[in-house]
Amino acid sequence: MKNNTITSPKGFLAAGIHCGIKESGKKDIGIICCPTGAKAAAVFTTNKIVSASVTVCKKHINSTKIEAVVVNSGNANACTGETGLKNAQIMCKTAAQLIDAKANQVLVASTGIIGHQLLMQKVTAGIILAAAQLSASPKAGSDFANAIMTTDTRCKQAFKTVNIDNVKITIAGTAKGAGMIGPNMATTLSFITTDAAITKALLQKALKEAVGNSLNKLTIDGHQSTNDTVIVLASGLAGNKPITKINLQYKKFAAALAQLTTDLAKQMALDAEGATKMFTVVVKDASTRTEAAKAARAIADYALVKCAIHGNDPNWGRIICAVGSCGVKLNPKKLACSIGNITVFKNGRPVKFDPKKASKIISQKEHTITVNVGAGKFSDFCYGCDLSAEYVKINADYHT
Amino acid sequence: MKNNTITSPKGFLAAGIHCGIKESGKKDIGIICCPTGAKAAAVFTTNKIVSASVTVCKKHINSTKIEAVVVNSGNANACTGETGLKNAQIMCKTAAQLIDAKANQVLVASTGIIGHQLLMQKVTAGIILAAAQLSASPKAGSDFANAIMTTDTRCKQAFKTVNIDNVKITIAGTAKGAGMIGPNMATTLSFITTDAAITKALLQKALKEAVGNSLNKLTIDGHQSTNDTVIVLASGLAGNKPITKINLQYKKFAAALAQLTTDLAKQMALDAEGATKMFTVVVKDASTRTEAAKAARAIADYALVKCAIHGNDPNWGRIICAVGSCGVKLNPKKLACSIGNITVFKNGRPVKFDPKKASKIISQKEHTITVNVGAGKFSDFCYGCDLSAEYVKINADYHT
């Protein structure tokens, strides 16, 4: 069996078990372990209210070597005060003792409901159980991927290899969805492993760029969570000459990492709460790239656009309305819009088109909306998904 | 029969008829007429893409006297280019000829689908029919209120009297909802009549302030339409000494107008697409009033908060998450939140509360969420409504 999970890169073990945080009996504790120690990089939520796990993780990420990441789902450990902070520290300490590392060599992440204290008896027992099951098998990698899920309907995994100086480098990752996603500098929980040898600084640079063009381009409901964390661990065991500067080798690694995070972002869009499809919004000819990104996100976040896409309706009026109200510079006389390859609006005016053909494009699992604002020469994009009655049901019924 | 409609203030006639823009057979053309000429003031959408009717209305509002307002529903006349502009002008000209006024003494407004040309044969016939039915009866006022509706399930009317120097002044208004509402400087379509004698400049000032604290505080889906227009017409026939400066008389008039627009805003929230209830978000102790307003709107616009309210769930975690991610200055240690009179979060920590009692508060037709951000001494508020599966159904099925 080919291993396409996070235990695939050399040097990583993983586990995922159920300890009782989730009443459903589903897995809720996961551990990744790199016994030889990994270079680590991470990006975090920019929400001003952050979870206790993010606070602790931000401190520990400064350690030269990271030996493990411990994650729980079903409880966000956010808005939990001093007790929450102590609990996040205990999670690191417990895992550290079991794998013979220091507490600050263990990273921690949490996802789930906000404002409830973790039941630490269960969590501690869970960490002990998971540590005992650590393995490099594909099953162990998948178990971890399953243990970080909340309202996800399926686990998200991505895998990539790249040859650098004739040495095969492997990168693998997993992420959880599925609501409260509208990232800024980071998104959701995502864990990436690689056996590349690379400096901590360049690993951080590559991660920031990759996330900026993938996970950060994804909006499901425009909501940025208190727990968003993306972590990459590099064991350095692939045998490549360590990447220590921005050269061809770095660029190849960074490109592969970016493809991997894009793959994860698209999987998240397709499994967003209640979503039946995803779409890419491309905004062209904006006065700056920031403006292009702002307009793309405004369209992807616009509830009426999301509803129209859910109904397979080429309702370009709502797209134009979203662009007009988002505050970016535009030239109304040059404004244009295409759905897939069908131009529906050009030079500020509607264009006759076949609505059946346009509807067919929208009914696909993935399609692209392109808007030209005619105010400059910069482009950017955003990933979004449709808004369904199911999203409301999931989030009105998810009781505290 | 007491007249509580827009024909109640002295000097106004109205009519509302069906001309065939709406396939449903419902009313789709309305006219308000002030044969003696009215002082007029208006506020408009700040969307960069505006309808042809807004473009024409913005020009005509500068006329010293306004004799009529002509409105159609079922078609927004937006993104319709030169033809749309000509059609909006024809609407004014047609109405003007019928009531013996000049075209620039007639204001025009449209609401409905974006990007389709008006069928002018039907519209012209409709204006002729409506002009023939102009009347000061309560039925005529209600007919107008019905003629401006789109997805509204009921018409919105408000009525107010105020004594100024022992003279009774009457103010009446109507507005349409019910989606694409997230105003900025103006909202939706709303038409207000009064018999007060007041200068054009002070009428504009009073309208801007009233709208700023009522209709502009309402968000249904955070979407600002291309057609938002609020118009007030003052016939000056009440017999009061004309209000020409900011004195007690002005303040009494302005307060009454503000109460009227608040009444309309709340009616709109309660009849928002798919909404089952409304709520007020009050943000206290912000560093500026703008920051307080920004935080209040962020909470009211947050899909997960709206879903929780729909489910009667006191999910304060989502409220705190919305505040944390909206970018306003806050002191995490002073952060507090109440649902109705129940404190659920204080000094940055959850407070034990009875979730059944909190759920009962949320299940009411109206309730208030109060958030203290602990960063200063400024307050502001916002009106919102819940998000239901019905909203999605309405907007996924509303085909172009």
Encode A281-299: b = buried (16+ Cβ within 10 Å), e = exposed. bbbbbbbeeebbbbbbbbb
Candidates A49, A184, A398; nearest CB to B321: A49
- Which tens digits make up the pLDDT trace of B20-61? 999 899 999 999 999 999 999 999 887 888 899 999 999 999
Residue percentage of chain A with pLDDT more than 90: 73
- What is the per-residue pLDDT for B312? 93
> A8-45: per-residue pLDDT in tens?
999 999 999 999 999 999 999 999 999 999 999 999 88
Chain B, 181-200: which have a CB under 8 Å from a chain A CB?
A: 182, 184
Averaged over A64-90, what is the pLDDT?
A: 94
Query: CA of A237 to nearest chain B CA: how many angstroms apart?
Result: 39
Does position A161 have pLDDT exceeding 70, yes or no? yes
Is pLDDT at A278 greater than 60 in this prediction?
yes
With b meaning 16 or more CB within 10 Å and e meaning fewer, what string describes A357-379?
ebbebbeeeebebbbbbbbbebb
- A323 has a pLDDT exceeding 80: yes
Q: pLDDT band at B178, cuts 50/70/90?
A: low
Residue B274: the pLDDT is 84
Q: How confident is the model at residue B399 (pLDDT cuts 50, 70, 90)?
A: low
Answer whether residue A247 shows pLDDT above 50: yes
Cα(B332)–Cα(B349) distance, rounded to whole angstroms? 9
- Looking at residue B327, what is its pLDDT? 86
Chain A contact set for B350 (CB, 8 A): 79-80, 115-116
Q: Number of Cβ pairs closer than 8 Å across A and B? A: 199
Q: Residue B83 has which token pair?
A: 């033809």
**Nearest-CB residue to B304 (from A221, A332, A399):** A221
Return the pLDDT at B208: 93
Sorted by where each begins, the domain ranges of chain B are 13-270, 278-397
The confidence score (pLDDT) of residue A107 equals 96
Over range A298-312, report the average pLDDT: 90
The shortest CB-CB distance from B321 to any of A226, A315, A388 is to A226
Q: Give the number of other CB atoms < 10 A from CB of residue A305.
A: 28
pLDDT of residue A260: 96
Per the CB < 8 Å rule, is A316 touching B115?
yes
pLDDT at residue number B302: 87
List B45, B187, B262, B280, catalytic entry: B187
pLDDT (0 to 100) of residue A268:
86
Q: B46: distance to nearest CA of chain A, Å?
A: 7
Cβ distance A396 to B179 less than 8 Å, yes or no, reads no
Chain A CB contacts of B80 below 8 Å: 349-350
Q: Give mean pLDDT, residues A34-59.
A: 92
d(CA A217, CA B227) in angstroms, rounded, equals: 30
Give the chain B residue nearest A330 (alpha carbons): B48
State how beta strands B378-385 and A189-194 pair.
Answer: unpaired
Q: How confident is the model at residue A150 (pLDDT cuts 50, 70, 90)?
A: confident
Confidence at residue B162, expressed as pLDDT on a 0 to 100 scale: 97
Highest mean pLDDT among A145-154, A292-301, B336-345: B336-345
Of B113, B315, B395, the CB nearest to A400: B315
pLDDT higher than threshold 90 for residue A153: no
- Average pLDDT of span B243-255: 97
pLDDT at position B79 is 87
| Mean per-residue pLDDT over chain B, rounded | 91
Neighbours of B35 (CB within 10 A): 15
Q: Do B221 and A304 count as a contact with CB atoms less than 8 A apart? A: yes
Neighbours of B126 (CB within 10 A): 27
Q: Does the beta-carbon distance from B320 to A114 stay under 8 Å? A: yes
* pLDDT for the residue numbered B184: 46
Of chain B, the percentage scoring pLDDT greater than 70 comes to: 96
Q: Which residues pair with B190 in a beta bridge?
A: B175, B230
**Interface contact A308, partner B, CB < 8 A:** yes
Mean pLDDT of B4-14: 97
- With vertex at residue B264, the alpha carbon angle to CA B52 and CA B73, rounded to the nearest 5 degrees, is 30
E strand segments, B124-252: 156-164, 167-176, 189-194, 229-234
- The segment with the largest mean pLDDT, out of A261-265, B42-46, B120-124, B222-226, is B120-124
The pLDDT score that the predictor gives to residue A390 is 85
**Mean pLDDT score, A120-129:** 97
Chain B 81-110, residues with CB within 8 Å of chain A CB atoms: 81
User: Closest partner residue to B226 among A48, A80, A321, by Cβ?
Assistant: A321
Fold of B13-270: L-amino peptidase D-ALA esterase/amidase (3.60.70)
In this prediction, residue A186 carries a pLDDT of 38
CB contact under 8 A, B315 and A399: yes
| Mean pLDDT, range B250-260, rounded to an integer | 97
B321 to A225: CB separation less than 8 angstroms, yes or no: yes
Distance from CA of A174 to the nearest CA of B (A): 24
- CA angle at residue A86 from A83 to A88, to 5 degrees? 110
* B contact test, residue of A48, A323, A330 with most B CBs within 10 A: A48
The answer on pLDDT for B231 being more than 80 is: yes
Residues of A designated catalytic: 187
pLDDT of res. B272: 82
pLDDT band at B370 (very low <50, low <70, confident <90, very high): very high
**Distance (Å) from the C-alpha of residue B137 to the closest C-alpha of chain A?**
37
pLDDT score, position A183: 46
Mean pLDDT value across residues B273-284? 92
Cβ within 8 Å, pair A350-B80: yes
Most confident of A270-279, B44-53, B88-97: B88-97
Closest CA to B111 of B179, B13, B41, B47: B179
Rounded to whole angstroms, the Cα distance separating B79 from B114 reads: 7
Contact A321 B47 (CB under 8 A): yes
- Cα separation, A391 vs A275, in Å, equals 7
Alpha-carbon torsion angle B74, B78, B81, B87, nearest 10: 40
Contact residues on chain B for A389, CB-CB shorter than 8 A: 389-390, 392-393
Q: Residue A362: which pLDDT band, with cuts at 50, 70 and 90?
A: very high
A76 to chain B, any CB pair closer than 8 A? The answer is: yes
Q: Select from A48, A310, A321 the Cβ nearest to the Cβ of B330.
A: A48
Are the Cβ atoms of A179 and B304 closer than 8 angstroms? yes
Identify all chain A residues contacting B185, using CB atoms and an 8 Å cutoff.
Answer: none
How much is the pLDDT for B164? 95
Q: Name the one residue in this structure whose structure tokens are 């473009």.
A: B55
- The answer to whether residue B150 is catalytic is no
Q: B332 and A49: CB-CB below 8 Å?
A: yes
Query: Structure tokens of B330?
Result: 């806050």
Q: How far is A140 from chain B (nearest CA, A)?
A: 33
Could A79 and B317 be called an inter-chain contact, meaning their C-beta atoms sit closer than 8 Å? Answer: yes
Instruction: Give chain A positions within 8 Å (CB) of B46.
Output: 325
Evaluate if residue A346 carries a pLDDT over 80: yes
Quick one: average pLDDT of B3-10? 96
Q: Which of residues 335-374 of B touch A (CB under 8 A)?
A: 335, 345, 348-350, 355
Query: Does pLDDT of A220 surpass 80?
Result: no
Residues of chain A contacting B311 with CB distance shorter than 8 Å? 395-399
Domain A278-397 coded CATH 3.10.20.340: yes
* Whether residue A198 has pLDDT greater than 60: yes
pLDDT score for A361: 96
pLDDT for B193: 96
* Predicted pLDDT of residue B318: 87
pLDDT band at A399 (very low <50, low <70, confident <90, very high): low
Reported confidence tier of residue B185, pLDDT bands at 50, 70, 90: very low
Q: Helix B200-212 vs helix B248-270: angle between axes, to the nearest 10 degrees?
A: 40
